[in-house]
Structure formats: structure tokens, C-alpha cells
A and B are shown apart, each in its own frame.
Chain A
Amino acid sequence: MEYIELTDEALLAQIVDRDRLALECLYQRYSTRVFSLSYRMLLDQGACEEVTQDVFLNVWRRAASYKQGRGKFTTWLFGIAHHRTIDELRKRTRGKQRSVENVDDHLNLQSADILPADAAVANSEYAIVRKALLELPEAQRIVIEMSYFGGFTQAEISDKLDQPLGTVKTRMRLGLKKLRAALASTLRTPEL
């Protein structure tokens, strides 16, 4: 069997049957992306290694809980990764006052040392998502970035921006839907 040719969902089905090579293949496909997301939010190498490790152990242990047809694999995987990272971020900042400086900083990033082929694709994906984000109305983009990358809750964002909670909720909802619509057919993976 050529694992590299299998879809994410097919690999996950193999993992349910305790196929270690299938897990290795998914790790090769997504570990850098998971690690990068965590690193961007935590800026701590050790913590990001721990998060990435937990995410793929979760994939191994909970593969059977993924329901095909109820969301894409990448949605499930990055959901686990983000949730785990948010837990770590909030644990670290609990009790500390956090303020908002410039949410655009999240997009003002540099690529690291990666394989040329991956770099080309990743740079393209990065550019596509960044463009889609920047095309959102600024008010929607800000609340999405504050929550997803900064780990702020809706209530915290409402407080920080001095805007009604209902307004924050509405902007999040509209922004996410626009983002999804803008990116549905453009990113590399067939899952997105």
C-alpha cells in the first residue's frame, strides 16, 4: 500500500486499526503546521513540542471518534491543536492582565527553514489566507484574530474593545463564514 497516496480520512481509518505507518504519514503531512500554529501563539519551543506531541497522541488514541461526513479531517485536527494550545496559553496568562497592541502583528511573520517544495506551497497558502483575512471588514478581522491567535474570549474582547458582547459575537460569526467561503476552493488540501 502506498500510504502517501491515501487521503487523510483513509489514513485515519488505518489508524483506527492501529496502523503506525498511517500515523507517521499524517505526522509528516501536518506536524509542521500544528507545531507552527502552536509556536505562533505560545512562542515557546518546549511547550509547542508538548502540544504537538499531545495532538498526535490524540489522533492515535481517538481516531475512532472522528466521524467522516461530520467535518473534514483537517478541521478536526486543527481544532484539537488549537484547543490544546489555547489551554496552554490561558494557563500561562491566568491572572495576568493582557492588553492588545497590534493584531496585525500576527500576520507580519517570517518563514523558517523548511523544505523548498513545502515552502513554495506553504508560502502560497499563507499568502492566500492572509489575503482572505485582510479582505474581511476590519472589525470582523480583529475579533477573529484576537480570539484565534490571542486566546481572548468573547467577553474579554468585548471588554478590551469596549463593544457590546452581541456585536462581538455577530462579527465573529460573519467573519468566519466569509473566511470559509473565500477559502473553500483555494487551499491545497481537498479537506478545506
Chain B
Amino acid sequence: MIDPRNHEAISPDLAGYALDALDDDVRALVEAHLEGCEDCAAELEELLEGAAALAFAVPLVIPPADLQDRISAIIDGSVEGTTSDQPTPFTTATTDRNRRIPWYASPRLAWGVSSALAAAFIGVIAVAGVVGTRLNDRVDELSAQVSDQEQSVNAVSASITTMERDVAVAQVEFQQVSQLQQSADTLSQQVNDLRWLQYVTSAGSWSMPSFFSGGEQPQAPQGVLIAHASGNKAILMINGLAPAPVGSIYQVWLTYEGHVIPGSTFTVDQNGYAVVNLDLLGDATEYIGASVTVEPVGGSQTPSEFIVLIGSDQ
């Protein structure tokens, strides 16, 4: 057992403490040591600043607009004495999560989509087929435009960060960034959509598009599953899905004759795009559900609870 006063033994664990990377017993030792060691407390402050900087190494995702109201409501309850200072049971998020119907039991997961969406999708494929020979050129052209736009965005962004915080002056720059960013995003989306259509129209006779969704946010990942006319294979095309966390991989799940069947594992490219080939056991129309989850590398035999995409009729 290490003595908490043993500086030489404990100080090497300060970085692990700053990164929340210690087992509980070691963490307790470090905390006991810090109470009496000014040198370690000072070094920890430095290490914690380094760790906090890592919070900037992730892209921004906007929390729900009503989250602030939920926090205010909890504080109101606390202030008015209707609840104690104990954490109030979480409202919407937890409730919704607990109410989530397992994807393999949801009647909303039946293959196929609403007739309007299916017709629209098939219509788009038909149009794409007509112009199929020109898609390659168009994709290249749009990709080049995206690259140019992104360079412009980066240039403007860099100039903004070096400016004094004069809001009146910065406003003009921000508007330029906004316009360029929107334009680049639109072109990126077009490139991805065209890639999808290019792939589909070149691959043969496909039917039965089934749409996947990763949530209701505008930027939520989306997917389209298309079964081959032969009925024994399908393709899942995904867009806007962030890379899986370290040690994890995405995996497709299908429900067939009451059984949840593990499908292919896959990763996404830097644009969050992936095309997954699926071999089906029988007639595609017999599959009643599908989803994508985060699983350990190598895949799993049963789906985890980390669902990132789920079949939907919308």
C-alpha cells in the first residue's frame, strides 16, 4: 500500500488524474496526496489546463433548444423549495430514452417507405439514370467547387480569429463566412447525393428503398437501404455519420422471421459517407426491421443499445 505522503510514487499519476484515467484506488491516493503537496497541486493545475484544451478538439454539436429551459425548471423547483438540492429526475431526455421501443419490436420498421417518399426516390433514380453518363464529370466539378469554397471559408475564418473583437467590423466577415459555409455545405451534399445515385444506377435492378434516420436534427445522419430485385442482397448507403469512437465500429442489424440477425460492420469516410453491402438470408420482403449500432471492433452477435440509425417510414 502506497503512503499518500510518498511524493515520488504518486506524482507520476498526476497526468492520469487530470485525464480521468486512474482507477478509483489510485485516484483516492492522489487526492489524499494533493491535500498536503503544494508542488503537485501546482503541477496538476498545469496538466488540467492541457486536458481542458482537448475539449476544443471536437466539432460543435448544438444541444436541443429546450435544454436551457429544462435546467431552469429544475433550478426553479430547487429555489422554490418544491424539491431539495438533490438532482431532480431528468425530464425529456431520460424519459424519451426510457420509452424508446426496441428497434426490433417497432412496427415502424417494416421495410419499404411511405408511398410518396418511395415514388420520389425512384423518380430521382430514373432521372439520374438518364444523365448517368454525365455524373462523373458533375461530381468532379462540384468537388472542385467544394474544395475552393472550403479554402475560402478557411481563409476568412483565419482572418476573423486574428481581428480585434470589434463586433461592427467582424459582422461583415461573419456574413461572408456564413454565405460561403452554406454554399460549401450545399455543394458537399450534392456531391454525396450524386455519388449515391451514380452507384445505384450503375449497379443493376434495385428496388424497395427504406429510409434510415439518426434523429430529428437537420444535420442528423441519414441512410437509404435498397434491396436488389433478386431479393437476396441489399445495399445500405449512409451519409452524415460521424466516425465511430475509438475501439468501436458500426454494425447493421436486420430482423428476419423474428430473429435479430447481425449484418456487416463498416466505417465511414471523412465525409461521414459509407456504402454497405448486405447479404440476405431469404426474400427481402420478409425482413421487418433494420438499424445501425455502435459495436466493439469485430462486431457483435447481439446489438448494443447505442443505436445511431434506425429504419423509419419518414
A residues contacting B by CB (< 8 A) are: 18, 20, 23-24, 27, 31-37, 39-41, 43-50, 52-54, 56-57, 60-61, 70-72, 74-75, 77-79, 81-83, 86, 92, 96-103, 105-114, 116-130, 132-133, 144-155, 157, 166, 169-170, 172-173, 175-180, 183-184, 187-188, 192
Docked Cα-Cα span, A146 to B160, in Å, equals 33
Interface residue from B50, B63, B156, B242 paired with A109 (Cβ < 8 Å):
B242
Closest to A54 in B: B87
Q: List CB contacts (< 8 Å) of B212-268 with chain A.
A: 215, 217-219, 240, 242-249
Docked Cα-Cα span, A48 to B61, in Å, equals 11
Q: Say if the beta carbon of B128 comes within 8 Å of chain A.
A: no
- Nearest Cβ in chain A — how far from B175, in angstroms? 8
Interface residue from A33, A103, A147 paired with B19 (Cβ < 8 Å):
A147
Interface residue from A47, A103, A126, A153 paired with B59 (Cβ < 8 Å):
A126
Whether A133 touches B57, Cβ cut-off 8 Å, given contacts A52-B63, A110-B242, A110-B272, is yes
Contact call A153/B16, Cβ cutoff below 8 A: yes
Docked Cα-Cα span, A182 to B244, in Å, equals 28
Interface residue from A71, A96, A153, A188 paired with B161 (Cβ < 8 Å):
A188
Contact call A106/B59, Cβ cutoff below 8 A: no
New A-B pairs, 7, CB < 8 Å, besides A101-B249, A173-B12, A176-B47? A40-B242, A49-B92, A74-B55, A81-B55, A124-B160, A132-B53, A154-B26
Docked Cα-Cα span, A177 to B313, in Å, equals 51
Determine chain A's interface SS by DSSP, over half rule: helix
Contact call A41/B245, Cβ cutoff below 8 A: yes
Q: Say if the beta carbon of B82 comes within 8 Å of chain A.
A: no
Interface residue from A37, A105, A169 paired with B55 (Cβ < 8 Å):
A37
Contact call A31/B60, Cβ cutoff below 8 A: no
Q: Say if the beta carbon of B294 comes within 8 Å of chain A.
A: yes
Contact call A112/B61, Cβ cutoff below 8 A: yes
Q: Which residues of B contact A113 (CB under 8 A)?
A: 62, 217-219
Contact call B52/A147, Cβ cutoff below 8 A: no
Give the top 10 A-B pairs by smallest Cβ distance, nearest first.
A180-B50, A116-B178, A147-B21, A176-B50, A49-B93, A172-B15, A46-B97, A35-B63, A173-B15, A150-B246
Contact call B20/A147, Cβ cutoff below 8 A: yes
Contact call B54/A144, Cβ cutoff below 8 A: yes
Q: Which residues of B contact A79 (CB under 8 A)?
A: 48, 51-52
Q: Say if the beta carbon of B202 comes within 8 Å of chain A.
A: no
Contact call B271/A110, Cβ cutoff below 8 A: yes
Q: Which residues of A contact B174 (CB under 8 A)?
A: 116-117, 120
18 contacts between A and B (CB under 8 A): A31-B67, A33-B60, A45-B93, A57-B71, A70-B45, A74-B55, A77-B52, A96-B296, A98-B248, A99-B298, A110-B272, A154-B13, A154-B22, A155-B23, A176-B19, A177-B46, A177-B47, A179-B54
Q: Which residues of A contact B92 (CB under 8 A)?
A: 49
Whether A179 touches B53, Cβ cut-off 8 Å, given contacts A100-B247, A105-B244, is yes
Docked Cα-Cα span, A112 to B115, in Å, equals 30
Docked Cα-Cα span, A12 to B308, in Å, equals 36
Interface residue from A43, A100, A102, A123 paired with B294 (Cβ < 8 Å):
A43
Contact call A144/B306, Cβ cutoff below 8 A: no
Docked Cα-Cα span, A109 to B15, in Å, equals 26
Q: Indicate with 1 or 0, residue by residue over B58-94, a CB within 8 angstroms of chain A CB atoms.
A: 1111111001101110110001000001010010111
Q: Which residues of B contact A120 (CB under 8 A)?
A: 156-157, 160-161, 173-174, 177
